[in-house]
Structure 1
Amino acid sequence: MSSDRSAFESDVRQAFAHLPDRYLLMAANAPEFTIMAASDSYLRLVGMRRDELIGRGVFDVFPDEEDAPNEQPRLRKALELVCREQRPHSLNMYRYDLPVPDAPERTFERYWSPQITPVYGDDDELCSLLLRVEETTDSVLRERYKRPLGVRDAQDRSLRRVLIVDPDEYVRTDLVELFSTQWQIEAVADAEAALETVRNERPNAILTAMNLGDVSGVQFIRRVKNLGAIPVVVRLEQTEGHLYQDAFEAGADDVVGGPVSPRELIARVQAQMSEASVRSLLRERFRQQYHRLFEQAPVAIALMVGSEKRYVMSNPAHDELVGHRPLIGLPLREAFPEANVQPLFDRLDEVYRTGEPYFASEAEVVLEVQEGGSVTKYVNFAYLPFYDHAGDIEGVASFSYDVTQQVEMRRAVERENERKDQFLAMLGHELRNPLTPIATANQVLEMQGANLDAERVAWATAIIDRQINQLTRLVDDLLDVARINQGRIVARASTVAVDEVINSAVETMAPTLKRRDQRLDVSVPDRSERVQVDKARLVQAVTNLLDNASKYSPEGSTIWLEASLAERERREWLTIEVRDEGQGIEREFLEQAFELFSQADVSLDRAHGGLGLGLALVDRIAKLHGGEVRAFSEGPGKGSRFIVDIPAHPATDDATG
């Protein structure tokens, strides 16, 4: 039972992590109500981590505090009611204040509208409670400040703090007496004392004079604004136009000039605090929405600040792009020490210096990976500056999109098209080559006229036959490649002796080898060794390997042909190896040796003819038999070795007719 419950809780937590709404799942174990899972949206709303919630009672995390204006008892009663009556219940609005993120010793007024739904297990017994939370702080505050001051919540007034700054002791005393009926009040005589108070315990608003002795009102207002977004209301004894303008230009939120009623003065300060509360809520709401967009964006986004371009944000897409290396808090060049990316960072430095955005398309980036080695990526990206409140460049935002797959696919298509173009050029060349000797032989016969002798006829006939055979073989190779690629050819297995296959291929190649004065060294198993293969196709594959070896080997050289049988992986395999003393293959070309239309030398005046189909056919014939062919070479001038491995007997489910 314990393991079932653990598995259930694990599944629930994973599901909850991605829910778009604010959900909390708790056990129906009153009075603890142990928290089992929380959605990411809920965590962002309350500003807490998952490990601060899971496994704790909901009222341990959000306690009832006697001196606080919170209404947790209402929530507790609602939860107990759902457990008792096992039906959904909701609260229209209740208050529970949360700590201010930058000042946890202070709280921020928050209002909520929870909906509680019972959750049942497989046995139809109540097992947990699902809490869906909507924040209603905005609407509550907007409604409250539409009402007259006299009917506002006394608790709300008592929680707010106003700092009065005025060098005149009598004025300070009067203002303290006036405002203390509404808020908590602290009064100081000079700017330095006021700034010290602001640093130690941030007030909700400041009411200040403009004449503050050694520090002017303008300087004081600017220094306050540098410490944070605190509403500043300036009180002037007389209506003086230039002081109005100076105060507003310094950053004052409101200026009250001349004789005003106490009610108006209170209302003006209250209005600024109310507006600041709404602004703070909107900033928090915007921050949460911005963070969600940032985290969920399919584009890789990172933010860097300062001249060092120190990372302060990196979304999951950016983490994936850079291989999940540590970034936050690190300067750009420390996070990416790779030399090849430094020119891109020089561009980023220029963006930070000039404010001009920079865009790049398919930039090649080689990044080291944790497992060792490196990975090459192609990236479209933009470097965009962002600014602080004073209009100065604060940092650079990087927007990147990994286009590696698209670039590699496009380049593969381009390479394939290039090979096809080269093939068409070679095809025209190869088809034209046999026609020249045929035309020459025909011209000689025509010149002889009625005086044809047997020797001339035999000579011409041999040329024509040889060139026609070459054309026929060329066309047959083309047709075979097309049929195999279209799946129109299957291996038609029959029982045959290994030496029959080898001897047939040797017999086919004998005239070519003799003409090139090349020696063939053959090693085959005993005559009794038999295999089940498509004899015609396998002979074709061995012939192509021999022809390839002969074509790229010098006259008078030796070619080795060896066939053997061995058992591997509980199955008997036929191995055919062809080795030569030819020109060899460059290492980078080995992987392409069996591709269609592939030849190391693609120029039309190359020394060896052919369309590069021979090895491609060998590869496809080996695969038709459920095997493979591999190429080996130590490099140019060191010969080549080709090994074909195919099952000696097809598997039952692979047998073909």
Structure 2
Amino acid sequence: MSHREPILLNINDNDANRYAVTRMLRAAGFQVLEGGTGAEALRLTAEERPDLVILDVKLPDLNGIEVCRRLKADPRTAGIAVLHLSANYIRTENKVEGLESGADGYLTQPVDSAELLATVRSLLRMRQAEEQARAAALQWKTTFDSLGDGVCLLDRGGRVMRANRAFVSLLGLSDEQVLGCPFEALMRAASDTEAALPPCCGAVLACHEEAEVCLRARWFRVAANPVEGAEGTVVGAVRILTDITHRRELEDALRQRAADLAEADRRKDEFLAMLAHELRNPLAAIVNALHLAEATQAGGSESKAMQVMVRQSQHMARMVDDLLDVSRFNRGHIELRRAPVDLRLVVQHSVEARRKALEEKGLHLEVALPAASESLWLNGDGTRLEQVVSNLLDNARKYTEPGGHVFVGVTVERHGKERQAVLRVRDTGIGMSPELMARVFELFVQAQQQLDRSRGGLGIGLTLVRRLVELHGGTVSVHSEGEGKGSELSVRLPLEAAQEVAAPAPVEVKPEKSEESSVRRVLLVEDNEDTREVLRELVEMWGHRVEVAEDGFKGVQAFSSLRPHVALVDLGLPGMDGFQVARKIRESEGGQDVFLVALTGYSGEHRTQAVEAGFNLHMVKPVKPDELERLLEQLPTLERHPTA
């Protein structure tokens, strides 16, 4: 109510009666205004807006019945309570007429004070409750209409009983078109598809779910909730429509972005693989030419320039291998060739292979391995494990200044019946900040370098270490006390129980061949002229007979006339690729007797295809000359079903 204390208006043309009523009301604490005619009642009510009008029925101008009708008909005064009070019209029909005119109460005079005050207070409480209800309804409607989501209330028949402005607006209809209409019909009319709508868009009131639908070219999430009555029966339902078009557009954009990134990543991996392949061809020619020059060097002495070229070509070959391995990891093409491996030998071989490079930089190398009685056998890929150790040593060499110290150690830890080998490579180099340690195993991450990039590298060595170790079921971690305080990288690998490891089969020593029988007929099919010519000279220098072909067609033709012991076939040939060449040779007369070697710049990418095509061996460019020479000298006996 608008006043702290209720204001009452007492209208009565009888002065004595008016005085008596006013005195009783004021004694009870009410503020009272007075008037004696119907006209005064209308004027004072409009001006003062009292909370209650006590209106005598018999007035000199307008009777109280008519005054009440006019007050209730005026929106400004319709909410004001009216109490009829009469000393003349006291019959039942008079009371009925007064109440029918809109009055809220009817008393006859003389009136008892207690009855009057009780009636006044009752009417005031009723009006106060009505005002509170109207205020709450107005507040609810304001809130209801201010909601951004479309909300509607359904009756028992699934018809829209109430709807806020957002709901009406999103349907593009008027209030009259929405109210009373079945909700399911509204959804069907607004839907952009002829497919069946989800249950939340139907007439089932008990539905309690959410679904996303397209209405009038926009996407909405429709939420359904039943409204239960006193005994748990469903008496209606609430439907909430939330516009999610912007979210859907963002999701579509993110999906497209993810697809674009995946495609870009795929193309990047293909580019890396192609780059590595294209680098291998000239690198193969360089490595073989250096080996040829070294072998023919007068007096067997190497010049300083020759040593530099050999060392740098080997460094480039390792970087190309790492680059290709990253590409293969990203595409899931790395597979381990598992066998019993002695980690002790792996570490020893890797250390000896890197010892010269460490000593040339002036680094002191310390190696600590367990006693020979401690078994270090594990089930793994020896080549890949050597790559792990070599990369750790290369990392230590790169970031340790001349005069520094590099420690390589292996210990064995036991956890119950399980044994773990812990390989540690520690250096006294530049160390790592906490930020770098958190990211050191990520691709292309390196310690900060100067513009001259004197430390070199691609920042992929430790990434390969982590991935190769994880493929072996192990873990790798890094520790550093801070910048300038060195680093330690630790690799943990599961070891096999000593009694479960079978020693590798003894190597069969073949009898030495006579000089005449050791001469091989070799067919070389290679489209790169430099690689082809250098390989030819190398093989001829080793005392073998060589015939070359620059493409697959000529290679197949040359096979029939030469009948070679060995065919070295490049896979990336123009016209007829190496796989087709191998199949043609195997199908021809004598094709089952030749030892087929696949040469490729794609590392292990085509190993399976090579086996299926009929190759006996898969070699990656640049082929190490000593390995090729050993292969030709100790040519394996062919099996009916060759393996790579």
TM-score (norm 1): 0.39
Higher relative contact order structure (alpha carbons within 8 Å, sequence separation ≥ 6): 2
- Please identify the structure whose Cα radius of gyration is greater: 2
